[in-house]
């Protein structure tokens, strides 16, 4: 199965570090970040899980639940968490799914035979409250994920879901945004964007970020 943007994220029940976890039930009406790891006790992934733990308040502020996945056992996960907490000076406070039977890996297309026939690739999914997949990024084994970028994308998705805007390249919270081209009614534009806008081109109209 190949997941695409807009697809419903597959539901699953699997053992995890907090017991049996039913994904959709656990997620509820929150946003979620699901990210996979090829194996426990891997150096890059150790730093990633530590970085994620340190950002838990930022994820919570955005109504985002975080869920990691590795094909190793729950027992191995608990040992790895102890290492993560020690080496990264943090406390992992989100679940890690044990996917020994590859059920989740197959549902989320995480086994790429040309990379490895047994280990999962390092993919990350952002999933919205309606369980729709909104972002998919797959990283090479040698490159750690940029979690500042993950938070930036979540901010953009949450903003653009509620306003008729898109976010330009390298956008950060508080910067100008783009009025979507489909919005052409000037009266409606004035109503939606009382601070006005500047038209760099007819199709490129920038306005202060709505609140």
Rg of the Cα atoms in the chain? 19
Q: What domains, with CATH codes, occur in the chain?
A: 13-158 (3.40.30.10), 163-207 (3.30.1020.10)
User: In Å, how far are 17, 40, 45 from 142, measured between CA atoms?
Assistant: 26, 15, 10
What pLDDT score does 141 carry? 82
The tens place of each residue's pLDDT in the chain, 211 residues long, gives 689 999 999 999 999 999 999 999 999 999 999 999 888 999 999 999 999 999 999 999 999 999 999 989 999 999 999 999 999 999 999 999 999 898 998 899 887 544 554 455 689 999 999 999 999 999 988 899 999 999 999 999 999 999 999 999 999 999 999 999 999 999 999 999 999 999 999 999 999 999 8
Do 135 and 5 touch, CB atoms closer than 8 A?
A: yes
With a CB cutoff of 8 Å and minimum separation 6, the contacts of 127 are: 9, 27, 31, 32, 33, 34, 133, 134
The label of the residue with tokens 């797959």 reads: 138
What pLDDT score does 117 carry? 45
In 10 A of CB 136, how many CB atoms?
15
With a CB cutoff of 8 Å and minimum separation 6, the contacts of 23 are: 9, 10, 11, 12, 13, 14, 34, 67
> Minimal CA–CA distance to 32: which of 3, 13, 10?
10
Catalytic residues: 45
């Amino acid at each position: 199965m190949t997941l695409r943007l807009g697809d419903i994220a597959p539901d699953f029940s699997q053992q995890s570090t907090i017991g049996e976890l039913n994904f959709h039930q656990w997620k509820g009406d929150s946003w979620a970040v699901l990210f996979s790891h090829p194996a426990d006790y891997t150096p890059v992934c150790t730093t990633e899980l530590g970085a994620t733990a340190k950002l838990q308040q930022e994820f919570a502020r955005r109504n985002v639940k975080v869920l990691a996945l590795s094909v190793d056992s729950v027992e191995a996960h608990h040992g790895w968490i102890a290492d993560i907490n020690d080496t990264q000076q943090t406390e992992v406070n989100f679940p890690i799914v044990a996917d020994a039977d590859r059920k989740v890996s197959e549902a989320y297309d995480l086994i790429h035979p040309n990379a490895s026939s047994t280990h999962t690739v390092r993919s990350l999914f952002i999933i919205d409250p309606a369980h729709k997949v909104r972002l998919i990024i797959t990283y090479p084994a040698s490159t750690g994920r940029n979690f500042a970028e993950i938070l930036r994308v979540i901010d953009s998705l949450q903003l653009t879901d509620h306003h008729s805007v898109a976010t330009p390249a390298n956008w950060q919270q508080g910067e100008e945004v783009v009025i979507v081209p489909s919005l052409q009614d000037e009266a409606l534009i004035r109503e939606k964007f009382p601070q006005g806008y500047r038209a760099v081109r007819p199709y490129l109209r920038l306005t202060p970020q709505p609140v």
